[in-house]
Structure 1
Amino acid sequence: MALTKEPIPVAVTLRGNVGEYAGEYARSKISTALGVAHGPVLTAHVVLDWRHNPAAENHAIAEASANVDGLMVRAKTAASTMPEAVDDLESRLHRQLAQLQDRIRTRHRRTRIPAEHQWRHGDLPRHRVPYFPRSEETREVVRHKSFASTPMTAEQAAYEMDLLDHDFFLYRDAASGRPSLVHHLPAGGYGVQGAESDETTASMSQAPPPPPPPSLTEGQARARLEAAGEPFVFYLDAGTGAGCVLYRRYDGHYGLIVLAD
């Protein structure tokens, strides 16, 4: 007789008057998605948040994070209703886990044959959540992150970024030791800043290589972010030389990531 696989426990946090039914729906959906994980799921957590923002089209935010045999996998979606957000979250998490399994098996995921001088990612287009239209004078840097990065190539950094479902990834370049950044390009593919140029980094984008990251204070980085309207600014701290990324959070405030030595 075939054994029935036990459901994977999933912790659920509800915010913004999200009902218990939505929590149970998310627990069931994400537990099912985690069933394809390549190894034991050590922890799994889902956050459902209903944001009462008249200016935003998508009020339902769903986030999932899971520790799969020591590796973190994260996904985040937004939709007009919570069931839609949860369904999208299940699909994205399933895709992240499949990519992780393939990466571990081959250490080099290839989702399509690249065109000459071009390296493109094979995922579906990312669904971006609008930023809360917070007035400039009320924006604050509300979260600081600092972490030490194991030196890696731009290609490895791109894999890490996709597994975490992020728009950018700050890392230390294996060839030069310099703080570097890989990020998604609006038209598809990847952009690389700060890393030593080689065949791989050159093939990741048809655009000319960007200039080195500027040396800025946190205040100067914030002024540049507000003036340019970009989602993030990659820079070197004027005092310490550490690699930093100041970015726009979904709540309209700023987040700061610092690459520690």
Structure 2
Amino acid sequence: MTRLRHRPALDVRVEIRGELPREDAEYARARALDTATALGPGARALRLRLTRTQDRSISRPALAQADVELDDAGPVRVQLATGTARESVDLVLGTLVGRAVRLREQGDIGFAATYESAYRPQYVDRPLARRRIARHKTVVLARRTPGQAARELIALDRRFHLFADVTTGWDGLVHRCPLSGAVELCAAGSGALPRLDLAEAGRRLWLGGRPFVGYTGPGDDRGRVLYRRYDGHYGLIEPVSGGRIGAGTLSARN
């Protein structure tokens, strides 16, 4: 990882994964510093990660992820993929600045950002027999209102967001609809999430062709999410038993 410092108030870090020409890596570093200046005061910890996959099943192999902490608007994250490294860098950093401006000026990034982007990263076409749960996270869920959870879902560019409802105490799941991109809410304690074991959740994930399955585990009403990773494997998020935290801390990121 290469660490760059533009000024003491803003730490800028650029990480390059995979083989890239030196000039493309330097371009990414220069654009990250330019973006740090454009974000202005109140921006902290800008991160840019650029990955180029060699998998031939991927038509947009250059994946860029950028995120920043804003003192007045919280975290913002964007993840997009294109055919070339420079195009991905320009697209993801430009989108990040645009979202930061909207969050500061209007308090949200608009419903236009909820659609499934044409530049969303692609899944590696991994044979079913070779897939496994490559990441298993147990998390303490943050207490949020559904509105706050939906706002974080969009600002963090997620497909889903698991949280604890500050009013009802139930685990909640906000997610984007696959076709319309609209944000929907499911509450674990209300029966909106099906009660499944892990094997059945995996079967539904495979048969349904969706990016994730939200469910409650056998014997409790705690929400869980089994999801597809872009490397072709699966990830699992489960809440810590009995664990929830206050409104000042973010919940897990998928």
User: TM-score band, normalised by the shorter chain?
Assistant: 0.7 to 0.9
Aligned to 2:156: 164
Instruction: Give CA-to-partner distance per residue, 1:137-169, whole Å, 9 cap, x none.
Output: 111111122322332222211110111111111
> How do 1:24-173 and structure 2 match up within 5 A?
24-37=26-39, 39-69=41-71, 71-102=74-105, 108-109=107-108, 111=110, 121-123=111-113, 125=115, 126=117, 127-173=119-165
Of 184, 209, 221 in structure 2, the residue corresponding to residue 191 of structure 1 is 184
Q: Which runs of 5+ in 1 are unaligned?
A: 112-120, 198-210
Distance 2:167 2:182 in 1: 22
List per-residue Cα deviations over 1:99-119 (Å, max 9, x = no partner).
Answer: 33236xxxx5484xxxxxxxx
State the partner residue of 2:3: none
The AA in structure 1 aligned to 2:132 is E
Rate the CA distance shift 1:133–1:35 in 2: closer, same or farther, 3 A. same
Deviations along 1:62-109, one digit per CA (max 9) or x if unpaired, are 112323349432211100111111111112211231233236xxxx54
Q: Which of 201, 209, 212 is matched with 1:221 structurally?
A: 201
Task: Read off the aligned partner of 1:122 and give its amino acid letter.
Answer: A
Equivalent residue for 2:12? Answer: 10
Deviation of 1:178 (Å): 1.1
TM-score of the superposed pair, with normalisation by structure 2: 0.80
SS state at 2:15 partner: strand
Contact preservation (8 Å) 2:188, 2:216: no
Distance 1:110 1:253, change over 3 A: closer
Q: 1: distance between equivalents of 2:22 and 2:113? A: 32
Q: Secondary structure at the residue paired with 1:238?
A: coil
Where in structure 1 do 4 or more consecutive aligned residues deviate above 6 Å? none
> Structure 2: which 5+ residue stretches go unaligned?
1-5, 244-254
1:38 CA drift (Å): 6.3
**How far apart are residue 232 of structure 1 and its match?**
0.4
Aligned twin of 2:174: 182
User: How far is 1:214 from its partner?
Assistant: 1.4
- Do the aligned partners of 1:173 and 1:196 also contact (CA within 8 Å) in 2? no
- Separation of aligned partners in 2, 1:92 and 1:147: 29
TM-score (norm. length: structure 1): 0.78
Structure 1: how far apart are the matches of 2:89 and 2:108? 27
Query: Contact between 1:36 and 1:97, CA under 8 Å: does it hold in 2?
Result: no
